[in-house]
Structure 1
């Protein structure tokens, strides 16, 4: 089976969770290729070390980034497919395809359910490309059953929609983790951790307000992740909430530093207004960190009952959930142990094997 895997998101300036998905799935598919009848080729717009370091066979199509997105949004070349049996678009950057089965991963339904949390351009692009994917794909992959159900209700795709959970990226805690945290500017105070792109749907405004509650005054807030769109000014909001001196904005960090930051966290908070999966949830669980999430249905599915829940958009609810998560109670200790076991079942190896099975299903349909 010859598979062309579109790896453009891996090379993006802000890869985000979809970039993590594409990179890890590509790497584990490449590992699977040695024991399978699989001939895997990555497709990128421009040469990209993040891809060539992982996959030996790479096709460069000569145009990438926003230009490629505009071309494919209009259904224009470059066309993928000839020379492959299956083409996998791991995001909604969906290419024109001929003479091959098309598999597309749709990570969430946010452009329909929460369009106000995206740019108008982002809403337009994702809706248009998703509708094209529904019409042309031989199989759709989603990260949760919740997203699969949403797509069925919103777009009624004629092809099979299969939920394949994402995996935990192995991130061993480095032996110099305390020194790394100091180097990143994190002090000795216990801290609540947020991991993700700084954009409106992530609920950072709710988290900052919650951290202003008196019961949480002993905790700092560490924010890891790049700046997205929407002018989410965490520092100004923190100063207005009276917690500016307790907030540490780290930006994007290496996996080694991220492991060190997870290892020192009192809790992870992901109070998103909408998600498709929520990779930081299972990463934190794998590191034995208590997790607090909003009651977004996809986050609830990802957490599997092993997180403390707060109401979407409610700082008081979030504050109380954080108090509970950082209490050190026997009940919380048991929850953390269960969460670590739950995260251990979500591996990229398993996701890759299920994706390979999806390719075979799509090929049989094409």
Structure 2
């Protein structure tokens, strides 16, 4: 509440500050011959100096960190001629971990992310003489080329899923898109929503399974018997993820129970409005038919995906739905909510249940999918369509 009341002043001054910085008009220095930081033009594409929004590089919502890190690492590998500069949180003393080779950093000071991007990124781009800024959600204002990747704007369609503070924090996202040279998102479904809300053309570029997950050495979470059969749910504990629909199905399933539990991965941090768990949840937890694992690491998540008898993801809405792609990579059968974005991702590959399906129907879908093998052709087609090299190629193609 207090943060929402304090932010309007800086928002109103953002354009004035950016315009003042513009007047400095600092020229970009010429590259020295053979400068490895500027790449080898013989590689084909002209080299670019790219300032990346890396606000969530080391802390913040897990999904944000995962996407930012994967995007930047794969950009470096796919376009080694580009010079990468990461705008990281914490000022000049910030020492981020796991940087791509040759990348350098510049610190941001403002909080929250929205204010930092709008006010600071344009100035930092001029400081490092960047050719373009690649931002997440919030576009820098001022005279700087910018490509903005928007994760989703469902807060406009479903404000009831978000707290008042969250809604105030997200509010500048759509107006700031007017300053972007190009707008991208993960799915065609989400692109349609952003276009409808902003009036801007939006390019879907996809997402990919993080390499930290695919390369992890699988390890069972603490307290989980390696021989235990189980169903899996992955996602933050909030009302949008619709965990309660799966919980209501557990007592009606012929498969699920204390000897074959539902394992739930995810925490409540950065999660919005909490879910209303159905009556009987305490009894399910006490019996062991449902186990809440909280936040786990990539090795544990890889183990769970690769051994789950079925993965259920009944989220009411998503911009993309990365767990669908992750579960598919590891070969887990899927039961999904019948929503447009999930149809876009996994039509023909998953079993779908309506959002308002009776609990018995959800239980039946879980039982039918239990232990099955996804169609190999459709699985490979999905994974080939959504891989990080293709994502960064599409995104770099938007650079002005």
- TM-score tier after normalising by the smaller chain length: 0.7 to 0.9
Bigger helix fraction = 1
Give the 5 Å matches for 1:1-366. Answer: 1-16=48-63, 18-34=64-80, 36=81, 38-46=82-90, 47-50=94-97, 52-54=98-100, 56-63=102-109, 67-69=111-113, 71-72=115-116, 75-77=118-120, 79-82=123-126, 83-90=129-136, 92-98=137-143, 100-133=144-177, 135-157=178-200, 160-170=201-211, 171-172=213-214, 177=218, 180-181=219-220, 183-186=222-225, 188-218=227-257, 219-227=260-268, 228-232=271-275, 238-240=281-283, 244-314=287-357, 315-326=359-370, 328=372, 333=373, 335=375, 338-359=378-399, 363=400
Secondary structure of 1:181 counterpart: coil
CA shift for structure 1 position 342: 2.0
CA shift for structure 1 position 110: 0.9
Contact 1:45/1:68 (<8 A) preserved: no
Q: 1:173 to 1:60 in 2, by over 3 A?
A: closer
CA distance in 1, matches of 2:305, 2:153: 28
CA distance in 2, matches of 1:294, 1:256: 27
CA distance in 1, matches of 2:290, 2:376: 25
Deviations, residues 159-198 of structure 1 (Å, cap 9, x unaligned): x3111111122444766x4xx3263435643111111111
Secondary structure of 1:358 counterpart: coil
Q: 1:240 to 1:31 in 2, by over 3 A?
A: same
Contact 1:87/1:97 (<8 A) preserved: no
CA distance in 1, matches of 2:124, 2:193: 28
Unaligned runs of 5+ in 1: none
Deviations, residues 72-113 of structure 1 (Å, cap 9, x unaligned): 48x5446342111110112x2433343x21111112231112
Contact 2:147/2:182 (<8 A) preserved: yes
**Structure 1 residues 229-238 or 311-320, which shifts more?**
229-238
Q: 1:238 to 1:56 in 2, by over 3 A?
A: farther
Q: 1:357 to 1:142 in 2, by over 3 A?
A: same
Deviations, residues 310-363 of structure 1 (Å, cap 9, x unaligned): 1114333322221221164xxxx353663244224421111111111121xxx1
CA distance in 1, matches of 2:311, 2:215: 16
Contact 1:207/1:318 (<8 A) preserved: yes
Question: Normalising to structure 2: TM-score of the pair?
Answer: 0.77
Q: 1:244 to 1:278 in 2, by over 3 A?
A: farther
**Structure 1 residues 109-118 or 218-227, which shifts more?**
218-227
**Structure 1 residues 117-126 or 165-174, which shifts more?**
165-174
Secondary structure of 2:264 counterpart: strand
CA distance in 1, matches of 2:370, 2:71: 33
Unaligned runs of 5+ in 2: 1-47
Q: 1:173 to 1:23 in 2, by over 3 A?
A: closer
CA distance in 1, matches of 2:229, 2:52: 42
Q: 1:235 to 1:95 in 2, by over 3 A?
A: farther
State the structure with more CA Rg: 2
Contact 1:195/1:223 (<8 A) preserved: yes
CA shift for structure 1 position 278: 0.6
TM-align CA RMSD: 2.6
Contact 1:306/1:336 (<8 A) preserved: no
